[in-house]
Amino acid sequence: MIWGTTKLKPRSGGGGGMMLGDEESDYFPPSPRKDWSAGLLRLVTAMVIFMGGVVLGLSVSGSVARYYYNSHAELFFPATTYGGCAGGDRDCGGPAGGVPFKAFVHPPHLAHSMSDDELFWRASLVPKAEEFPFQRVPKVAFLFMTRGPLPFLPLWEKFFRRHQGLYSIYVHTLPDYKLNVSRSSAFYGRQIPSEEVSWGSITLVDAEKRLLANALLDFSNERFVLLSESCIPVYNFPTVYEYLINSQHSFVESYNIDTQQCAGRYNRRMAPHILPEQWRKGSEWFELNREMAVEIVADYKYYSIFRKHCRPSCYPDEHYIPTYLHLFHGSLNANRTITWVDWSRGGPHPARYGAESISEGFIQAIRSNGTRCTYNSKPTSICYLFARKFAPSALGKLMNLTSTVLDF
Ligand SMILES: *[C@@H]1O[C@H](CO)[C@@H](O)[C@H](O)[C@H]1NC(C)=O
Ligand SMILES: *[C@@H]1O[C@H](CO)[C@@H](O)[C@H](O)[C@H]1NC(C)=O
Ligand SMILES: *[C@@H]1O[C@H](CO)[C@@H](O)[C@H](O)[C@H]1NC(C)=O
Ligand SMILES: *[C@@H]1O[C@H](CO)[C@@H](O)[C@H](O)[C@H]1NC(C)=O
């Protein structure tokens, strides 16, 4: 901007200079009539030249300003980060397509054209300064991994109602699926650019990282919960928020037992980077704090080992994050999941509950079924905040329970 004004001054000065040059004609006093017309002509000529100088000066200063702004905007906020925002897009608000600070720290739109590599790199950037230059209210990011529709959408919408500013929602679907929700929904515009996912393969880990990375772009997101379309909340929002925000640990289930489905999935080729005693298993449905989320998104080395050596019947989504955290950040993990599930029936899939199973007593048993666990190193009876798996038929009865046991 400083360049703009300094450039402007010499330019208009130049116009003035040409006017001064015209004064020499005053030394040849013209006849009165000629004087009048010649004077007018001189005045008009001077005006035209002056205006030309001003216009030229302004346009040069303008293009300097635009150049100055653009080059810096692209340096600090690559246009691709905000895909739709390049070149003065309608939604951007900033001059000449630059990203205003607010949109940089809290991206209002989730569309972007970054590749996974670009996105993961961008999401792993961590500010060096400890203080934020804005009032940072920590948020919980709810990451929904789904094939398509969210059968419990009305339940979740009710759960989030009146808590704006304390949560962010991100939805990963199959790439061609369009989530159709009303503008007033908490889920409106919350679909992230998604890729094909085949269950049990590394592409599931890719989708988890994609959800984490998109959520990391918002600097206020502090806790990151992975949920599926068959998950429900079993406590109200304030309880979930307090529990997660105040926790000293992340909640990633992590164990190693000597069975075919656990230790048996270890591949010797992972040594020496991962040794058999370092191998861990746990539920895919994690909860991570920001620091752990950045570590996962930034890791390429261990991810590549799993990509190469954890293939069916090894399932990367059940081993990669528990093993990685155990290797480097074990003390920050509670080693338990906060998503209740019922494996008691045996077999490869957990029990799925429909309308016929839903009652106040059933939900109450999930909220507190006599199990004790630790929270910030103290015993507690609140071990589960979410539960799976539920069939779409359960929705009506669950909506009815929001006024009683679910309390939201
Ligand atoms: C989206 O939902 C609305 C309301 O339920 C419906 O009228 C509309 O046809 C739907 N659009 C698509 C593309 O499915
Ligand atoms: C979880 O396991 C790690 C080992 O990976 C251990 O260091 C840590 O203390 C455990 N966390 C809790 C809360 O016990
Ligand atoms: C409570 O739920 C957990 C998780 O499903 C289960 O392991 C445990 O056996 C249950 N406890 C009781 C007393 O039902
Ligand atoms: C919900 O509660 C209302 C009023 O008690 C009842 O009429 C309705 O059948 C209930 N719906 C379901 C799906 O249980």
Name the band, by pLDDT with cuts 50, 70 and 90, for residue 95: very low
* Nearest bound ligand to the CA of residue 279: 2
- The pLDDT of residue 42 is 60
- The pLDDT of residue 202 is 97
Range of the domain at 187: 114-127+134-331
Name the band, by pLDDT with cuts 50, 70 and 90, for residue 199: confident
**Residues in contact with 35: Cβ distance below 8 Å, sequence separation at least 6, in sequence order:** 29
Q: Is the pLDDT of residue 406 over 90?
A: yes
**Atom 8, ligand 3: residue with shortest CA distance:** 371
71 found inside a domain:
no
Ligand 2: does its nearest atom lie under 6 Å from the Cβ of 255? no
**Residues in contact with 3: Cβ distance below 8 Å, sequence separation at least 6, in sequence order:** 61, 64, 65, 68
* Nearest bound ligand to the CA of residue 360: 4
**Atom 12, ligand 3: residue with shortest CA distance:** 369
Q: How far is the CA of 336 from the centre of ligand 2 (A)?
A: 10
Report in angstroms the alpha-carbon separations of 146 from 174, 196, 385. 7, 11, 19
Q: Is the pLDDT of residue 30 over 90?
A: no
Burial letters for 215-244: b for 16+ Cβ neighbours within 10 Å, e otherwise? bbbbbbbbbbbbbbbbbbbbbebebbbebb
Higher pLDDT, 407 or 23: 407
Phi and psi torsions of 118, nearest 5°: -65, -45
Q: How far is the CA of 176 from the centre of ligand 1 (A)?
A: 16
DSSP of 78-111: -GGGGGGGTTT-TTT-SGGGPPPHHHHHS-S---
Ligand 2: does its nearest atom lie under 6 Å from the Cβ of 61? no
Q: Is the pLDDT of residue 60 over 80?
A: no
Ligand 2: does its nearest atom lie under 6 Å from the Cβ of 388? no
Ligand 2: does its nearest atom lie under 6 Å from the Cβ of 330? yes
Residues 225 and 244 sit within 8 Å (Cβ to Cβ): yes
* Nearest bound ligand to the CA of residue 283: 3
Region class of 102: left (phi > 0), else alpha (psi between -120 and 50), else beta = alpha
Residues 371 and 383 sit within 8 Å (Cβ to Cβ): yes
Cα 357 to Cα 395: distance, rounded to the nearest angstrom: 12
Q: What are the tokens at 302?
A: 């261990």
Q: Is the pLDDT of residue 92 over 80?
A: no
Phi and psi torsions of 168, nearest 5°: -135, 145
Name the band, by pLDDT with cuts 50, 70 and 90, for residue 243: very high
Q: Where are the alpha helices (DSSP H) in 23-86?
A: 32-76
24 found inside a domain:
no
**At 237, which amino acid appears?**
F
145 found inside a domain:
yes
102 found inside a domain:
no
Quick one: average pLDDT of 302-309?
98
342 found inside a domain:
no
CATH for 299:
3.90.550
Cα 248 to Cα 243: distance, rounded to the nearest angstrom: 10
Number of the ligand 4 atom closest to the C-alpha atom of 400: 1
pLDDT tens per residue, range 316-367: 999 999 999 999 999 999 999 999 999 999 888 899 999 999 999 999 999 9
Percent of the chain with pLDDT over 70: 76
Quick one: average pLDDT of 62-75?
39
Number of the ligand 4 atom closest to the C-alpha atom of 396: 13
Considering only 25-34, 211-220, 238-247, 332-341, which range has the smallest mean pLDDT?
25-34
The average confidence (pLDDT) of the chain is 83
Cα 120 to Cα 102: distance, rounded to the nearest angstrom: 21
Q: Looking at the chain, how many residues does it have?
A: 408
- The pLDDT of residue 90 is 43
Reference 39, options 16, 21, 23; nearest CA is 23
Report in angstroms the alpha-carbon separations of 145 from 3, 42, 174, 277, 292. 50, 76, 9, 31, 19
Name the band, by pLDDT with cuts 50, 70 and 90, for residue 96: very low
Number of the ligand 3 atom closest to the C-alpha atom of 342: 5
Cα 392 to Cα 150: distance, rounded to the nearest angstrom: 9
- The pTM score is 0.79
- The pLDDT of residue 337 is 97
What's the number of domains the chain is made of? 1
Cα 211 to Cα 205: distance, rounded to the nearest angstrom: 10
Number of the ligand 2 atom closest to the C-alpha atom of 280: 5
Quick one: average pLDDT of 305-323?
96
405 found inside a domain:
no
46 found inside a domain:
no
Q: Is the pLDDT of residue 1 over 80?
A: no
Report in angstroms the alpha-carbon separations of 358 from 198, 319, 353, 361, 406. 31, 32, 7, 8, 12
Percent of the chain with pLDDT over 90: 73
For residue 13, the SS3 value is: helix
Q: Is the pLDDT of residue 82 over 80?
A: no
291 found inside a domain:
yes
Considering only 28-42, 112-126, 328-342, 357-371, which range has the smallest mean pLDDT?
28-42
Q: How far is the CA of 371 from the centre of ligand 3 (A)?
A: 6
Ligand 2: does its nearest atom lie under 6 Å from the Cβ of 326? yes
